[in-house]
Amino acid sequence: MNNLAKLFLFFLVAVALVSFVVTSSLLYVLDASSENISELQYKSQQLGNAEALNPENLQQIVAEGAKKIKSQITKSDYLFIYCSQIAYNFLCFLISALLFRKLVFSKQSIKKDWSKTNISLYFLTPFLLLSALPIIGESLHLNKMLGIDWLIEQSGYNLNEGSVGNMIFSYAVFVPETKFQLFTSIVFVAIIPAIGEELFFRGSLQKTLTPHLGNIHNTIFVTAFIFSALHFEITAFFYRFFLGVILGYIFYWTKNLMIPILIHALNNGMTVFTMYYTFSATEVIDTSSQAGNDKAFALIYSTLAASSILWVYYLYFKKQNLESTSQ
């Protein structure tokens, strides 16, 4: 059995454990109601079926829908969903990645993934994410531009009801209402998934695919595709895909998993903070009427700034290569 087959075997076993063992145990121990959770997921899908949905008002529709669902979630349901989220990330990603790396890669290669990196590269991570967000956010339009939305709708699948409904339910559960909930959401929604997913996708999958796909560019794009696809959210597919591409190159250039983990956690954390303050506001701001010139300027700035910061990481990579070959 080759390395890639082993990786997916571990992943499928972890998914099976969460689905059939952990889920049943948690429902029993926490006295949660699977019927109530299923009903709330159905209501979320109905709220997501908005005729005027577009990337500009997506946040508004998700926020307003999540407010309606949140009031109907019981404490037992919250506990069950949070524990399931931890188990899913821990078993499916973290343990799968660690087991796979233990069996496939040497101790030396594992150590390399946490090698010392210039401290300035850590400080650049928030600036890279902030500068890249406007142009990555524009990728939400690609589904419609490429005709993907039309093809999906022709198959009979209600895109809004399915994908946006899942987003509404997720935000209803994981977006905090108090400062304490904000802290727990940062830990369980931002940090833990970032660690598990980066160990799995960049630390295991990307390293495994590299010798099989010809060059690192093919590997990074294929890994990013799988990373986005396994989130099962069609609306934000290209958003996660381009984020995955950036994470893949950053890991390749720095040889340090901590930096893509930090970027990933910051991205998740910014989403939690944004939705927290959106929920705290008395009225959700509709950004669909943003001026075209302002938007164009933001995209130009985003492209130039993000490219410049990525260039710094690339130069660091070239410098490290020169130093290693000269020794």
pLDDT digits (tens, 9 = 90+) for 152-173: 666 666 666 667 777 788 888 8
Task: Render pLDDT for 303-319 as a digit per residue (tens, 0 to 9).
Answer: 899 899 999 999 988 88
Query: Contact at 8 Å (CB) between 83 and 92?
Result: no
Task: Render pLDDT for 82-127 as a digit per residue (tens, 0 to 9).
Answer: 888 788 888 788 887 877 777 776 555 555 666 677 888 889 999 9
Q: Bridge partners of 114?
A: 256
CB count, 10 Å around CB of 59? 19
Listing DSSP states for 238-296 in one string gives: HHHHHHHHHHHHHHHHH-BTHHHHHHHHHHHHHHHHHHHHHHHSSSPPP-TT--HHHHH
Residue indicated by tokens 């995955």: 244
Residue 291 clears pLDDT 60, i.e. is over it: no
Query: Contact at 8 Å (CB) between 140 and 239?
Result: yes
Residue 157: predicted pLDDT? 60
Query: Contact at 8 Å (CB) between 259 and 245?
Result: no
Q: Number of helices and strands (H, E) in the chain?
A: 19, 0
Residue 106: predicted pLDDT? 57
Whole-model pTM? 0.82
- Positive or negative, the Cα torsion across 60, 73, 232, 94? positive
What integer best gives the mean pLDDT of the chain? Answer: 79
Residue 53 clears pLDDT 90, i.e. is over it: no
The rounded percent of the chain whose pLDDT value lies above 70 is 81
What angle do helix axes 58-70 and 165-174 make, rounded to 10 degrees?
60
Residue 260: predicted pLDDT? 94
Residue 251: predicted pLDDT? 94
Residue 282: predicted pLDDT? 46
Alpha helices in 146-204 (DSSP H): 148-154, 159, 165-174, 179-185, 192-200
Which of the listed ranges 48-52, 196-200, 218-222 does the model predict with the highest average pLDDT? 218-222
Residues in the chain: 327
Residue 285: predicted pLDDT? 45
